[in-house]
Every structure is written in C-alpha cells, then in structure tokens.
Amino acid sequence: MPILRTFAAVAAALAVAWPAPPPAAPVRPVTNDYFGKKLVDPYQYFEHLKSPEVQTYFREQANYTNAVLSKLGPGRETLRRDIARLADAGASVNVVASVAGTIFYVERPPSANDARLMLRGADGKPRLLLDPDAFGKATGSKAHLSISGVLPSPDGRYVAVGLVPGGAETETHTRILDTATATVLPEDFPRTWQGATAWSADGKTLFYNQLPLLQPGETENDRELRSLVFRHTLGGTGADVAVFGIGVDPNVPFVPTDFPAVTISPAAPYAFGVIAHGVQNEQTIYVAPAAAVVAGGQIPWRKVADVDDDVVSFDVKGSTLYLLSHKGASRYAVLALDLEQSGATAANAAVAVPPSEVVIQQISVASDGLYVRGILGGLASLRKLPFASHGPPGAVTSIALPFAGTLQAFVTDPLASGAVFDLVSWTKPSLIYALAANGEIANTGLRKAPDIDTSRYASIEVKARSADGTLVPVSIVMRRGTKLDGSNPAYLEAYGAYGFDIDPYFLGASFAWLDQGGIWAVAHVRGGGEFGEAWHQAGKGPTKQHTIDDAIAAARYLIANKYTTSAHLAIEGTSAGGIMVGGAITQHPELFAGALDVVGLTDELRTEVADPNGAANVPEFGSSKTPDGFKSVYAMDAYQHIVNGRNYPAVMAVTGINDPRVAPWQPAKFVARLQAASASGRPVLLRVDYDAGHGLLAASRAQEVALLTDEFSFLLWQCDSPLFAGIPTHIVPGKSGAR
C-alpha cells in the first residue's frame, strides 16, 4: 500500500502545471518621516484604489488565485461538497427582536442563498416579511442584497430594515415594512450604515443615522465622518430634520469621527443621545424628554455620562437608568441612576449589581426585571434583578440554562416579561429558547437542530503560557479518538481587539476541517474581553504585542503537546485579527505552514490617514500622528516588518472590494510585499470577491461556501493533508514543483 501511494503521489505531482503568476507589482518607494524615523513604503500607490493600474493588479491577482486553487483537484471538490452539506444541514436562524408578543428573526433555509426576514406572532405561525433576493430583483439591484439592522416599532406594526448591496455597508438603504401586509413603504433612507436607531413610543416616528454626501474636494476617507441622526415622521412630506450630531446643538460637542445615535424605550419617558467615539467602547450619553425629541424644536439635552465614567451600554425603566460600567470594576458592574433627581449623573449613581468574577456583557430591561448576561470561565451566566425588590445586591438571582454554552443573542421587550435567547456551544448547535418571568425555559422551535452527528466531536479547554508568564485560555475542538502524534492539520484562530471575546460557537460547516483529521483551536488572546476590561487593555495600543505573544504561545502549546507540528499548523486572523496573524507570521514564520489574513489590518501605520474607517480606530490602536502613538502603531504594522529573503509560510489574504471597514489596499499591499520578499517558495495569494464587503458580513450562502472551500483547501494543501497528497506545497510556474 505505501508503494502504491508513492506512485500515485508522483503521478499527481507530475500532472500539476502551475499557472504563470501575474507581473510583479512595480515598486515605487515613498519615504515617510515619522518623528525622525524614515520608513519606506514600496506600494503606497495601492491606496488609490480607483487607479486603473491598481484595479488591474486586483484583477490579475484574483485570476491567479482562482487559477492556483483550481489546480488542487478532487480534494477541493470533496471539501466543497462537505462544506455545502454541512452548511445545508439546518436552517440558519437569528433572533433580532421580540416586541408585542411577536418574535422577529432572520432565517436562511437550507440551500437558500440569502436570509429572509420572518416573524412569528401570538398564533405561533411563521410568516415571511421580506425576501431580499426577490426584492432586489424586483427593484433592479445589480448586487445581491442582504439584511442588516432590523428594528421593529414598539407595537410591532412596522419594522425598519437595512438592505446592504454587495456587502457595501456604507451604501445601506433603510426601508420600512408594514408587518400586517408585508408591504414595503415608499420611504427610502440611503447611506444608513448603522440603520435605524429608534422608534418613538407610539411607533409613528423613526430615528436613523445617515452618512453625509461627499462634497467637492472630499475623498473616500471623508465618507464615514460627520454622520447625523435624523427624525422622520411616517407619511410626512417635509424634509427630515437632524436632531443629534455634529453642528446640530452647540451645547453638545462632537468631532467628525464621533458616531451619534438616538434611542428611545417605550418603558420610559426619556430619549437618549449617545455618542460613540470611533471604536472606543466608552460612550457619552445625553438625556432629554422623549416628547421634546419627537416634537422637534430646541431639545434640552443633558449629559449624564461621559467617557471617564467608563459606561459601555445602558437600559432604562421608568425614571431609572441602568448603566454598564467598568469604572473601578474590570469585569463590570451595573449602576442605577434616578433621572428625576436634579444633577444626577453616572458619577453619583448607586451600584445595582456589584462586580464579581462574572464578566458582564449585556444588560436588558423587561417588564419583570433587569436581565444581566455575562460569561464566567468562558461559559454563559444569566442573572436577573427583579424590579419589585430594588433591594440590596443580594436580590440578584441566577438563572439556570439548559446546557453550558454561550448566549449568542439575548432580547427582551421592555413592555413584556421574560426574554428570548440563543444558546450554543462548540459541539451543541444553537437553539432558541423563551424564558418566562418565573424562570421556566422552553425551546421555541424556531431553529431545528441541524442534521449533523455532533457525538463524533469533543472540546477541551487548556491554557498556554505566554511570553510574560500570563496563562492564555485555548479552546480545542476535534473528533473523538484523534491521535495526538503531531500529524494533524491544525487551524488556530485568534482575534484580540476592542474588548470583543470569542465565546463558544457551533462550528457547523467548519466541521469539514475536523472531518479531515484536523484540530480546531481558538486562542482567547489579550485585547479581547474574556476576562473583562483589564484583559482588553493588556492587548490594546502600546500593549498590542501581548496579543501576538498569546497567539504564538497557543501555537507552541499545540506543537509541544503533539496536537500538530509546524509543518501542519495554520493560523487565521480576521479584520483586527490581521494585526495578530500578521505579527505572528512576520515574527515567527517558522511556526506555521500556512496563514489566512481575512480582511485584515496589516498596515496599521497607514490606516489612520488612508483608510476611510481608520481615524475611528485611533482609540483602540493609537495614532501615527503622535510620537508615542507612532511607536505603538509601527510595532503592530506587519507590512513594515516583512524582511527580504525570509522563509515565510504560505499566505492567502482575503478581501471584498466593497469593504468599508478595512480598505482592500491593506491586504493587497501585504500580499505584494510578501510575494517580493518570501524565499520559501510557498504561495502568497490574494483572493478578491467583487460582490462582497467585510468578510462574511452580508454574504450569501454561495459566497460563504465558496470562501470556506477556498480557505480550507488552501490551508489543508499547505498543511500536507492526505486530501491533497502528491500536490506540491511549493509553486514553480509551469512545473510540478517540489516539496
């Protein structure tokens, strides 16, 4: 058998004729002076995305990537079939709201290309509200439409829906549907990236955030600045009026990168003006009588919380404002503030739920209490503060969940008791439950368990010791009975930014990796929020190296404990995770066979000045315009740390041409530099989707299957999986190559 396999491998290798690579991108050095340190950027001209030359580069790279992947033979088709089967094993259902006895959810049935907006009323029967694919065809959309930003009115009569064309979030249109008839109303609000933010309590007035039209002399870098919140009365004929944002009220200061929102709860007589300062989690919050905001005229906004109060979210019941804050509480506490008291602010709020070992992630008002969602040791925690008690902190009660996992979605109606939530784990598919006021939990049946035999898989939790001695949690999922002999292809995922954590999720179509004998690992690196704000701060700005060190520690743990070896190990980072993956492969290329840089931040030094979303990210990563900020940003810039002649692993960078969050020039520059510098002979590819934006956001089912197929094929090929036996991992154009 080994002899036959050897002959088969040789025959397969001889049959591979790699396509000729596209011409190397011209080097046009630009020297930038950062406080006396001169740095050369050979591909800075890529930042002019509309340049015909740059567009040609993208087309040629995309064609080359497709041509290389097409040479991977039957193994790639096997993966595609497995991924498609797993993706179609059950409907995808995401609950977005529960109001007036009606659950609104987004559902993509098996084999369907796009998700549809559905509702289930008191009669228990599901009903279709909007099929974006059909709506797009009826309205002549040239790009596929996807749903985002669903917001029903308090009485459930209307629902505002964001429709994203081809993943271009800045081009989102918000439409309004009459839920009784599923009719789309004439109103059309363009450039509503974050969509509708609030309805008035009577459901007759809508508030939405809108990006400005670019003025003469402005560039794409100005597109996401100076957005405003407008008020719209249903059926009104006059122009909508700005009620919150830069230049609206001299007593409410804004800077161009601030993002304004207005929220209103039907359970309180107040409206709240919220200022998000770029990507910073801490908010500035103003309050005013809801009647004044709905009616128009001069609005008496009053500040109740500022950035220094460390408030990241809030909810309201009557005159009591509940604030989620990490002020003096790294894992967060809930504060309560009586808005009827003169001069009441977050600074003099009382503690309603004190800090504990639980990291509080969300607070949500229902008629029967304040629900407090969090995580403890990576697993979901759910507690409730009954409104009837208003007693000491001991009044908070814990709610037992159906199984140990993660609450992916948790929604309440402030006018009704209980909640609806989505519970999931690494090996248990997500199910949607209804929680009653008395604590009883029932499966809603909105999502059926997929037809996947999950008994074959198991997950474990371990800890890897990072460079400074910090123990970093690592979640590992694999098939039962997998031998730990170092031969398994391993997929290592990490993120580490904004205080976002990677909680357990159901692998679904990604089980295809495990079914090829693979290991799936998630490193909960610093910069995330797994252990609260202190964990976030330990991987933010000047401490960003910890994020990279933690991922490296996880890689070394997998190797040391024989889950895999460096010849079979792949690493992936998405979006801000591009800093992690870029740092990992430039600092320790010897540890990895392959890497995925998915819509990744890999040229952070230029992000602030050349990426439309860059200035908003300064609070998280730092500013290249200050000496200290430059040091931080330069240290995390993978593009600037690529060295000629090093043996880098295989890399595939992924971008969507409509991406507003990480401009496509970032992965393109990274690829061009790696192609010119790497001496390993392993492929460096750029995958481009011309009908997509930021990764899988607003992607269709076909796009998801195609992307996962390409990613897994690329990595399993480079990790020497038997599925691609005989296909050389190193490319020599026109020849079979050599291992």
pLDDT digits (tens, 9 = 90+) for 657-685: 999 999 999 999 999 999 999 999 999 99
Q: Are 478 and 518 in contact (CB under 8 A)?
A: yes
**For range 711-730, the mean pLDDT:** 97
Q: What is the pLDDT of residue 575?
A: 97
Q: pLDDT, tens digit, for every residue of 353-375?
A: 999 999 999 999 999 999 999 99
Beta strands 490-494; 519-523: pairing state:
parallel
In this predicted structure, which of 337-346, 506-515, 690-699 has the lowest mean pLDDT? 690-699
Nearest to 377 by CA among 504, 482, 498: 504
Provide the 3-class DSSP secondary structure of residue 76. helix
* d(C-alpha 243, C-alpha 643), whole Å: 51
**For position 185, what pLDDT does the model report?**
96
Please, is 301 exposed, middle or buried when counting C-beta atoms within 10 Å of its C-beta (0-12, 13-18, 19+)? buried
Task: State residue 474 phi and psi, 5-degree precision.
Answer: -135, 125
Report if residue 460 sits inside a domain.
Answer: yes
* Residue 200 banded pLDDT, cuts 50, 70, 90: very high
The pLDDT score that the predictor gives to residue 111 is 83
Instruction: Give pLDDT, residue 388.
Output: 67
pLDDT of residue 194: 84
What's the CA gap between 432 and 455, in Å, rounded?
21
**Residue 49, Cβ density class (10 Å: 0-12 exposed, 13-18 middle, ≥19 buried):** middle
The model's pLDDT over 251-264, given as tens digits with 9 standing for 90+, comes to 999 999 999 999 99
- What interhelical angle do 52-70 and 665-677 show, nearest 10? 70
**Banded model confidence at residue 697, pLDDT cuts 50, 70, 90:** confident
- Domain-located, residue 42: yes
Query: How large is the angle between the packed helices 74-87 and 701-718, nearest 10 degrees?
Result: 140
Residues found in the chain:
739
Q: How far apart are CA 633 and CA 608, in angstroms?
A: 10
The pTM (predicted TM-score) of the whole model is: 0.94
Contact between 39 and 32 (Cβ < 8 Å):
yes
* Number of domains composing the chain: 2
Q: Please, are residues 249 and 227 in contact by the beta-carbon 8 Å criterion?
A: no
Percent share of the chain, pLDDT over 70: 96
Q: How far apart are CA 322 and CA 412, in angstroms?
A: 15
Task: Round to whole Å and give the CA distance between 574 and 582.
Answer: 10
> Comparing 73-87, 390-404, 460-474, 535-549, which segment has the lowest mean pLDDT?
390-404
Q: Report helix angle 52-70 to 701-718, nearest 10.
A: 70
Looking at the fold, whether 491 and 625 belong to one and the same domain comes out as: yes
* Overall average pLDDT of the 61-66 stretch: 98
How far apart, in whole angstroms, are the C-alpha atoms of residue 260 and residue 197? 10
Q: Which residues contact 368 (CB under 8 A, 6 or more apart)?
A: 384, 386, 387, 417, 418, 437
Beta-strand pair 569-574/519-523 = unpaired
Are residues 668 and 529 part of one domain? yes
Tens digits of residue pLDDT in 427-449: 999 999 999 999 999 999 999 99
Work out the average pLDDT over 379-396.
78
Q: Is residue 620 part of a domain?
A: yes
User: Dmax over Cα atoms in the chain, in whole Å?
Assistant: 86
Q: Which pLDDT value is given to residue 623?
A: 97
- % the chain with pLDDT above 90: 89
Question: Is residue 392 scored above 80 in pLDDT?
Answer: no
Whether 683 is in a domain gets the answer yes
The values of phi and psi at residue 119, to 5°, are -140, 155
Tokens 């959309």: give the residue. Answer: 141
Q: With beta carbons less than 8 A apart as the criterion, state whether 335 and 349 touch.
A: yes
From 263, 287, 309, the end of a domain falls on 309
Q: Are residues 519 and 651 in the same domain?
A: yes
What's the mean per-residue pLDDT of the chain? 94
User: How far is the C-alpha of 187 from the C-alpha of 269, rounded, in Å?
Assistant: 27
Cα-flanking dihedrals φ and ψ of residue 263, to 5°?
-125, 145
pLDDT at 560: 98
Q: Sign of dihedral through CA atoms 41, 47, 48, 54?
A: positive
Q: Where are the alpha helices (DSSP H) in 26-95?
A: 52-70, 74-87
Per-residue pLDDT, 396: 92
Does position 628 have pLDDT exceeding 70, yes or no?
yes
Question: Contact at 8 Å (CB) between 611 and 666?
Answer: yes
Q: Residue 236: what pLDDT?
A: 85
Report the b/e string of 55-73 with b at 16+ CB within 10 A. eebbeebbebbeebbeebb
pLDDT value, residue 5: 35
Q: What single DSSP character describes residue 436?
A: -
Q: Residue range 730-735: average pLDDT?
A: 72
pLDDT tens sequence across 266-276: 999 999 999 99
Q: What pLDDT sits at residue 15?
A: 56
The whole-angstrom distance between residue 386's C-alpha and the CA centroid of its chain comes to 32
What pLDDT is stored for residue 394 in this prediction? 52
Is residue 522 assigned to a domain? yes
Q: Residue 195 in contact with residue 227, Cβ under 8 Å?
A: no
pLDDT of 719 above 60: yes
Most confidently predicted of 135-149, 230-244, 380-394, 458-472: 458-472
pLDDT of residue 4: 34
Domain co-membership, 521 together with 654? yes
Give the CATH number for residue 464.
Answer: 3.40.50.1820
Query: Do 588 and 714 reside in the same domain of the chain?
Result: yes
Domain edge (last residue) among 259, 286, 309: 309
C-alpha distances in angstroms, 532 versus 279, 357, 527, 535? 17, 9, 10, 6
Q: What are phi and psi of 182, to 5 degrees?
A: 60, 30
Which residues fall within 8 angstroms of residue 541, CB to CB, at 6 or more apart? Answer: 620, 621, 622, 629, 632
At residue 299, what are phi and psi to the nearest 5 degrees? -100, 125
Residue 97 contacts residue 152 (beta carbons within 8 Å): yes
The answer on 653 and 504 residing in a single domain is yes
For residue 738, what pLDDT band results from cuts at 50, 70 and 90? Answer: very low
Measure the CA–CA gap between 97 and 421, rounded to whole angstroms: 10
Is residue 151 situated within a structural domain? no
> Which tens digits make up the pLDDT trace of 613-627?
999 999 999 999 999
Domain end (from 291, 309, 327): 309
Q: How far apart are the first and last CA of the chain?
A: 21
Nearest to 419 by CA among 369, 361, 380: 369
CA 438 to chain centre: 34
Residue 154 placed within a domain: no
Give the domain range for residue 213: 204-309
Residue 374 resides in a domain: no
Collapsed DSSP state (helix, strand, coil) of residue 100: coil
Closest CA to 349 of 276, 413, 417, 285: 285
Higher pLDDT, 4 or 421: 421
As a whole number, mean pLDDT of residues 632-652 equals: 98
C-alpha 316/C-alpha 732 separation (Å) is 63
Strands 684-689 and 650-656, bridge-based pairing: parallel
